[in-house]
Chains A and B, each alone.
Chain A
Amino acid sequence: MSSLSNKIQDVFNEPGCGKNQAKSEKERKKGCTKQLQPGGAAGGCAFDGAKIALQPITDVAHLVHGPIACEGNSWDNRGSKSSGSNLWRTGFTTDINETDVVFGGEKRLFKSIREVIEKYDPPAVFVYQTCVPAMIGDDIEAVCKAASKKFGKPVVPVNSPGFVGPKNLGNKLAGEALLDYVIGTEEPEYTTPYDINIIGEYNLSGELWQVKPLLDELGIRILACISGDAKYRDIACSHRARAAMMVCSKSMINIARKMEERYGIPFFEGSFYGIGDTSDALRQISRLLIERGAPAELMARTEALIAREEARAWAAIEPYKKRLTGKKVLLITGGVKSWSVVAALQESGMEVVGTSVKKSTKEDKERIKELMGEDAHMIEDMTPREMYKMLKEAKADIMLSGGRSQFVALKAKMPWLDINQERHHAYMGYVGMVELVKEIDKALYNPIWEQVRKRAPWEESTWEDVADSAIAAEAAALAANPELAREKRRSTPVCNCKSVLRGAIEDAIVEHGLTTADAVSEKTLAGTGCGSCKGKLEKILETMDHWHAETGKTGTQAQQAA
């Protein structure tokens, strides 16, 4: 395990991560892992993250070493698409039993690797470590090494057991496995000055293929996409690319940065979501390739293609724009999609009324703020009821989110569109943007909404009416009773990691005369978990005049009453 903890430290030290750069040595050591709250956590584990990152490699056998839960409950559940092998969709697991837990699972793992190679003859086997074998001390690195030697095939250990952290960390540990065992181990048949890597793109719903024709037309070759629709060999040869684009925000920054360091491949961070972003990404690719020696005429061809495609996309969107302008979109998602989709929606005339940034890094949030203006409404950790209230108050016409919040939206009879991994539509590039607009239009104007929102003829009121009157009654009660409003405000959770309520923070500020968010953190522990509530702390400090005056008043009233 010591090598794993070193690896995790190494990932935490990522110098390519701006957020990391801003931290002190001590803070960095603690890592960027959000402290998970028992009973209040959502999201996948590090194993999940590692598997998500690597599973799109299509011709590899992905073997999960663990009890049935890790693979049995989740296999073949990703929307990545393959242009060739479907082996990646085959679920391989050692399905360890009680005996293995007692005596160790290494032998079963070794035999499993043998069976997989004998039956399926993949170019490589990726072996994923999980919690239980990690606890009992199964050394998957040693088993993989022995198996690799014995069978003459790459057997790659992916050491990212679930309990070391969240998905995001798993993405990076998966990247480390590629860097350590795959990238640079084979040579391409030939290279061109137009070879690029695309890093952090998983080809969900085949979206990469919405962009590939553009690159093909420019003569730009995707040497390796890490990891959507990739073959093992592509990735093994990827060190010969001239430039790289990193798409999925920060999830695979370590690959991009270390490939720059080791092989001198420059990279940029870009997005293919949205018309403007796609054009920028194409320009950046061409720019980097030209810097690395590609003929300068590439840029002129790129600009010509951009002009043509943009015009085509706008023309396709035009008929929808009329129908969509002024429609309010409530965006609830995290990570890459937040910032890239916001731009896309604004391009088609819609107004974005809020976004949740659960998974996003601080920079993602900054970008959203930049794109959406200062009024960006950040929504963290919402309960379904609050979500209904918000849909209502935001007067949103449609909600875009990941699969999990789907049913809350639908039960609130709100048009909804899936923009996360589970989605069935591809939204990348110029054509993808047109697709997204079409889908939003289809969802918004479907005739069911009118029907389902009507109450049954024999019903006095719909449940929405009931909820509405409850919300109204609550608001009225708060307005009529400042003490109640104060209590309500004070009982709002501010820091979910450390379970700190607003009241405790207000008291600490008043009692100790605190003036900075850091000082508040020190006194109350708020903001010492994931740190995402620091902004809220600042806001509380800024607005002190308002709430403190109130506190003082009610205090006086209380004294008078006494």
Chain B
Amino acid sequence: MATVITPKKSCTVNPLKMSQPIGSALAFMGIRNCMPLFHGSQGCTSFGLVLFVRHFKEAIPLQTTAMSEVATVLGGLENVEQAIITIANRQKPSIIGISSTGVTETKGDDVDAFIKLIREKHPELDHITLVYVSTPDFKGAFQDGWAKTVTRLVEQLVEPVPNSAPRLPNRVNLLPGAHVTPGDIDELRDVLEAFGLEVLVLPDLSGSLDGHIPDDFTPTTLGGISLEEIAGLGRSAHTIAVGEQMRAAAEALEAKTGVPYTLFDRLTGLEPNDRLISLCARISRRPVPTKIRRQRGQLVDAMLDAHFHFGGKKIAIGAEPDLLWTLSEWARELGAETAAAVTTTASPLLDRIATEEVLIGDLEDLEARAAGCDLLMTHSHGRQAAERLKIPFYRIGIPMFDRLGAAHQTIVGYRGTRNLTFEIANMFIANGHEPTPETWYRPKETEHAGAAAVAAH
């Protein structure tokens, strides 16, 4: 049980947090033939674009209403209208996903009303779906923008289905949180398909940002879930949501269509995956396939081999709430301790984390608390802190701009858990301290260093 604290300092140093709109845009990128659009100044888009390009190493579709100072003051109706028309002509998307930003929220642009006016004025745009999400930069964080967007997509695009309607018994919906990578989605799809289940993923980054060679160039998203598939989510037998952030979307889907949901607050670790597999067996009415049984056995063995290296290790984690929860629980189950935890935004998970305090803060806070830890886990921006602290650094989360394969980092399922466990155990092994004649001398000073680390908290 952790105490959640917000530091009193005024200046954020080395941000961990990223803004809501880019979380929102990323969610839109999991929809087929979509063009995400920021209602804001062109810099808002440019920064997000560069961030995703560097993370995914892919061309990123993202447009801007290019609000100038004057347009901002006068209101952005014209810019939104013009942007939609331009995009409709140039990229010809099926859907334009509009997210607001700090500038336009400060002005108070009523984009829902804008869209109504634009719809009245431009019947020729009727074939293009417009979805708007309010995501001011000065509130919440990346995963909030993602979660809000998925909820909005469900509310606006899923066709309502009466509770008693017949369903496709072998189809399930998967609602992944912002921390679930394309590789993770692929892994979950693999697991579900092993039970003969068909999966619809909202949003599906595994089709759009998994780094593949497309059949043809499109200026919009390269893959992802189609609008028809989203509309039909209500005909599935069950919904699996991954991450506490997806609760609202899963509930909205259930309320609208009666599809029951199971929320997994994480899918890294033995126990949550046992629950997932049991659920799959129940839905599919099939025995657990040999392949999955073997994977479970391998994970159990990995845990046995790795626990020697995890026991008593101190880990510092900087991540958004759902990822922080995932990693800290996984570490706890292997005998390691989350000695420092910093996150970006509020979540009901935070006070359940097995650590003394969880800070809604930045990487300066994490760095101060990570002294003396055996491992730092955060996104690429942790690289400077790790260098200064001289501790091993595992990159996880968005952005990961200084390593390849961010999209394929897979930590869910038995296999993902096994790989993560081995990878981290190997880092511990590689960084183990060789004993020297002095190792057991001067225990006082060691104590002193420990006390200093505590005082630094």
A124 → chain B closest CB, angstroms:
16
Contact B82–A37 (Cβ < 8 Å): yes
Q: Are B384 and A48 in contact (CB under 8 A)?
A: no
Query: Which of A92-100, A253-261, A296-304 is the interface stretch?
Result: A92-100
B contact residues around A513 at 8 Å (CB): none
Is B137 in the interface zone, CB < 8 Å from A? yes
**Is A101 an interface residue, CB under 8 A from the partner?**
yes
Measured CA separation A36–B44 after assembly (Å): 14
In the complex, residue of chain A having the shortest beta-carbon distance to the beta carbon of B212: A411
Q: Counting CB contacts under 8 A, is A449 at the interface?
A: no
Q: Chain A interface: which of B18-26, B157-165, B289-297, B348-356?
A: B18-26
Assess the B138–A98 pair: CB atoms within 8 A: yes
Whether A551 sits at the interface, judged by CB under 8 Å, is no
Instruction: Knowing A42-B46, A89-B384 are in contact, say whether A466-B216 is a contact too (CB < 8 A).
Output: yes
- Of the listed residues B57, B59, B381, the one surrounded by the most CB atoms of chain A closer than 10 A to its CB is B59
> In chain B between 420 and 434, which residues have their CB closer than 8 angstroms to a CB of chain A?
none
Chain B residues within an 8 Å CB radius of A463? 213-216
* CB nearest neighbor in A for B103: A131
- Whether the pair A95, B384 counts as a contact (CB closer than 8 A) is no
A163, B68: Cβ atoms closer than 8 Å: yes
B15 touching A39, Cβ below 8 Å:
no
A48, closest chain B residue (CB): B43
Closest B residue by C-beta to A75: B15
Contact in complex: B12, A75 (CB < 8 Å): no
Residue in contact with B42 in the complex, picked from A43, A93, A405, A499, CB distance below 8 Å: A43
- Asked whether any CB of chain A lies closer than 8 Å to the CB of B58, the reply is yes
Asked if A41 and B19 make an inter-chain contact with CB atoms under 8 angstroms apart, the answer reads no
The total of Cβ contacts below 8 Å across the A-B interface reads 229
A264 at the interface (CB under 8 A from B): no
Tell yes or no: B41 within 8 A of A by CB: yes
A408 proximal to B (CB < 8 A): yes
With A69-B102, A131-B102, A132-B102 known as contacts, the answer to whether A162 contacts B12 (CB < 8 A) is no
A407 near B57 with CB under 8 A, answer yes
Give the segment of B47-55, B187-195, B197-205, B326-334 that binds chain A: B47-55
Contacts of B47 in A (CB 8 A): 44, 48, 69-70, 73-74
A164 CA / B68 CA spacing, docked (Å): 6
Known: A39-B83, A162-B43, A463-B214. A136 touches B106 (CB 8 A): yes
Contact A100 B213 (CB under 8 A): no
With A40-B90, A48-B47, A67-B102 as known contacts, state yes or no: A90 contacts B14, CB within 8 Å.
yes
Is A115's CB under 8 angstroms from B10's CB?
yes
Closest beta carbon of chain B to A428's beta carbon, Å: 23
Does B87 reach chain A (CB closer than 8 Å)?
A: yes
- Residue with the highest number of chain B CB atoms closer than 10 Å, among A41, A97, A100, A384: A41
Q: State whether A36 touches B66 (Cβ < 8 A).
A: yes
Bound CA span A132–B40, Å: 11
If A41-B64, A77-B50 touch, whether A67 touches B401 (CB-CB below 8 Å) is no
Please name the 9 residue pairs, one residue from A and one from B, whose CB atoms are nearest each other, closest first: A45-B43, A39-B83, A39-B86, A112-B11, A38-B83, A67-B137, A69-B19, A111-B10, A36-B66
Chain A interface (Cβ < 8 Å from any Cβ of B): 36-48, 63, 66-77, 86, 89-98, 100-101, 108-109, 111-116, 119, 131-132, 134-136, 161-166, 383-385, 388, 403-408, 411, 422, 463, 466-467, 499
